[in-house]
Structure 1
Amino acid sequence: MRAASFFSDDQQQQITTLTEHLDTQALLWLSGYLAGLARNRTLPGQASATGARIQAPAQPVSAPQDGSGHRITVIYGSQTGNAKRQAEALWEACQEAGAPVRLVRADQYPTRELKDETLLYVVISTQGEGDPPDDAIGFVEFLKGRRAPRLQQLKFAVLGLGDSSYPEFCGIAQQLDARLAELGAERLQAAGMADVDIETVAAPWRQAALAWIRQHALADTGGAGAPAPTGGAQAPSPGQARAVTREQPIPAELLANQRITGRGSEKAIHHLELSLAENGLSYQAGDALGVWPVQDDALVERILEATGLDPAQTVPCQGEERPLGEWLKMRRELTVLTRPFIAAHAERAGHAGLAGLLQAESRHELAALMSENQVLDILQRYPAPWSACDLVSSLRVLAPRLYSIASSPSLYEDEVHLAVASVAYERDGQPRWGVASRHLCSLAEGDTLPVYIEANERFRLPDDGRCDILMIGAGTGVAPFRAFVQERQARGDAGRNWLFFGNPHFQTDFLYQTEWQQALKQGSLHRIDLAFSRDQADKIYVQHRLLEQGAEVYKWIESGGRVYVCGDAARMAPDVQQALLQIAQRHGGLGEEAARSWLETLASQGRYVRDVY
Structure 2
Amino acid sequence: MDTTSNNKPALKIMGNNEFIEDVIKKASLEELYWLHGLLSGIIGTRTQQIFQAGSATATASSPSTAGATVLVEEMHTVPVTETYTVLFATQSGNSRKVAKMLEAKANENNIPVKVLDIADYPPHQIKKEKNLIIICSTQGEGDPPLSAEEFYAYIHSNKVGKLDGLQYAVLALGDKSYVNFCKTGKDIDERLHALGAKRIISRADCDVNFKPTAEKWINELISVLLEKQNQTRSSTNITFHTTTEAAPAAARNLDIFTREKPGTLTVNEIIHLNGRGSIKDTLHVELADEKQQIFYQPGDSLGIYFRNNSLLVDEILKYLKCDGKEMVIYQNVQMSIRDCLEQKAELTLINRDFLTKLAEVSGKTEINDIINDTGKLSEYIYGRDILDVLQDYKIKFKAQQLADTLYPIQPRLYSIASSPLYQEGEVHLTIGKLQYQFNQRQKTGMCSNFVATELKPGDAVTAFVHENEGFRLPSDNAPIIMIGQGTGIAPYRAFMQEIEARGLSNKTWLFFGNPHFTTDFLYQTDWQQWYKKKLLTRIDLAWSRDQAEKIYVQHRLKQKAREVFEWIDDGAHIYLCGGKKMGKDVQDTILSIIQDIKNISNDQAKEYLKNIKRQHRYHEDLY
User: Common fold, TM-score beyond 0.5?
Assistant: yes
Q: Per-residue CA shift, 1:547-581, capped at 9, x if unaligned?
A: 01001100111122221111112x00000000000
Equivalent pairs counted in the alignment come to: 556
Out of 256, 262, 265, the residue aligned to residue 269 of structure 2 is: 256
Query: Who wins on radius of gyration, i.e. which is larger?
Result: 2
Query: Which position in structure 1 is the counterpart of 2:604?
Result: 594
State yes or no: 1:182 paired with 2:194: yes
Q: Percent identity?
A: 36
Q: Cα offset for 1:505?
A: 1.3
The equivalent residue for 1:171 is 183
SS at match of 1:502: strand
Query: Which residue does the alignment assign to 1:79?
Result: 91
Task: Give 2:531's aligned amino acid.
Answer: L
The alpha carbon displacement at 1:585 in A equals: 0.8
Q: Higher mean Cα deviation, 422-431 or 170-179?
A: 422-431
What are the Cα deviations for residues 479-526 of structure 1, in whole angstroms up to 9, with x where unaligned?
111111222222222232110000111121111112112222221112
**2:341 aligns with one of 323, 328, 342:** 328
Amino acid at match of 1:375: I
- Relative distance call for 1:150 and 1:105 in structure 2 (3 A) is same
In the alignment, residue 351 of structure 2 is paired with which amino acid? T
Distance 1:470 1:235, change over 3 A: closer
- State whether residues 166 and 370 of structure 1, in contact with CA within 8 Å, keep that contact through their aligned partners in structure 2: no
Q: Which residue of 2 aligns with 1:33?
A: none
Q: Distance in 1 between matches of 2:588 and 2:246?
A: 47
Pairwise CA distance, 1:313: 4.3
Alpha-carbon spacing, 1:422–1:563, altered in 2? closer, same or farther (3 Å): same
Residue 572 in 1 paired to residue 553 in 2? no
Match of 1:492 in 2: 503
Distance 2:375 2:248 in 1: 53
Is the 1:44–1:232 contact (alpha carbons within 8 Å) kept by the matching residues of 2? no
Q: Secondary structure at the match of 1:470?
A: strand
2: CA distance, partners of 1:265 / 1:353: 43
Match of 1:108 in 2: 120
Say whether residues 1:300 and 2:310 are aligned partners: no
Q: Hey, which bits of structure 1, 4+ residues long, moved more than 6 A?
A: 2-10, 221-224, 234-240, 347-353
> Of the candidates 404, 410, 418, which is equivalent to residue 415 of structure 2?
404
**Cα deviation code 1:216-235 (max 9, x no counterpart):** 245347679xxx9x983589
Query: For 1:170-203, what per-residue CA distance to the aligned partner results, in whole angstroms no more than 9, with x for missing partners?
Result: 2212210111112322123433234446567556
Aligned equivalent of 2:66: none
1:522 to 521, 527, 533: 533
* Distance across 2 between alignment mates of 1:521 and 1:158: 51
Question: Aligned letter for 1:132?
Answer: P
Aligned partner of 2:302 among 283, 289, 311:
289
Q: Provide the C-alpha distance between the structure 2 equivalents of 1:84 and 1:315, rounded to a whole number of angstroms.
A: 40
Contact 2:390 2:396 in 1 (8 A): no
Q: Which residue of 2 aligns with 1:557?
A: 568
- Counterpart of 1:440? 451
Structure 1 residue ranges without an equivalent (≥5): 11-42, 46-63
**Cα deviation digits, residues 559-612 of structure 1 (max 9, x gap):** 22221111112x000000000000001112121011111111111112221121
Q: Report matched runs for 1:199-218 at 5 Å.
A: 202=214, 204-214=216-226, 216-218=227-229
Shift of residue 133 of structure 1? 1.8
Structure 2 equivalent of residue 154 of structure 1? 166
User: Equivalents in 1 of 2:110, 2:244: separation in Å?
Assistant: 15
1:582 paired with 2:588, answer no
Partner of 2:140: 128
Q: Is the contact made by 1:348 and 1:385 (CA closer than 8 Å) also made in structure 2?
A: no
Partner of 1:604: 614
Query: Is contact 1:307-1:379 (8 Å) kept?
Result: no
**SS of structure 1 residue aligned to 2:297:** coil
Contact 1:470–1:497 (CA under 8 A) maintained in structure 2? yes
Secondary structure of the residue that 2:193 maps to in structure 1?
helix
Instruction: Call closer, same or farther: CA 1:438–1:207 in 2, change over 3 Å.
Output: farther
- Contact map agreement 1:68 1:220 (CA 8 A) in 2: no
- Determine the structure 2 residue equivalent to 1:40: none
Using the TM superposition, give the Cα deviation of residue 291 of structure 1 relative to its aligned residue in structure 2, in angstroms.
Answer: 2.0
Deviates more, 1:426-435 or 1:169-178: 426-435
| TM-score, normalised with respect to structure 2 | 0.80
Pick from 424, 435, 456 the counterpart of residue 468 of structure 2: 456
CA distance in 2, matches of 1:164, 1:241: 29
Whether the 8 Å CA contact 2:223–2:233 is kept in 1: the answer is no
Partner Cα distance (1:595, 1:392) in 2: 53
Higher mean alpha-carbon deviation, 126-135 vs 86-95, is at: 86-95
Q: Which residue of 2 aligns with 1:140?
A: 152
How many Å apart are 1:321 and its aligned residue?
4.6
Seen in structure 2, the aligned counterparts of structure 1 residues 88 and 573 have a Cα distance that, compared at 3 Å, is same
In the aligned structure 2, how far is the partner of 1:238 from the partner of 1:367?
45
Distance 1:486 1:432 in 2: 35
Task: State how far apart, in whole Å, the 1-side matches of 2:200 and 2:327 are.
Answer: 41
The alpha-carbon distance between structure 1 residues 426 and 316, as it changes in their structure 2 partners (threshold 3 A), is same
User: What is the CA deviation profile of residues 534-557 of structure 1, one whole-angstrom value per residue up to 9, with x for unaligned ones?
Assistant: 111111110011001001100111
| Residue number in structure 2 paired with 1:30 | none
Counterparts of 2:148 and 2:500, CA distance in 1:
32
The residue type paired with residue 257 of structure 1 is I
Counterpart-to-counterpart distance in 2, 1:302 and 1:265: 30
Letter in 2 for 1:151: L
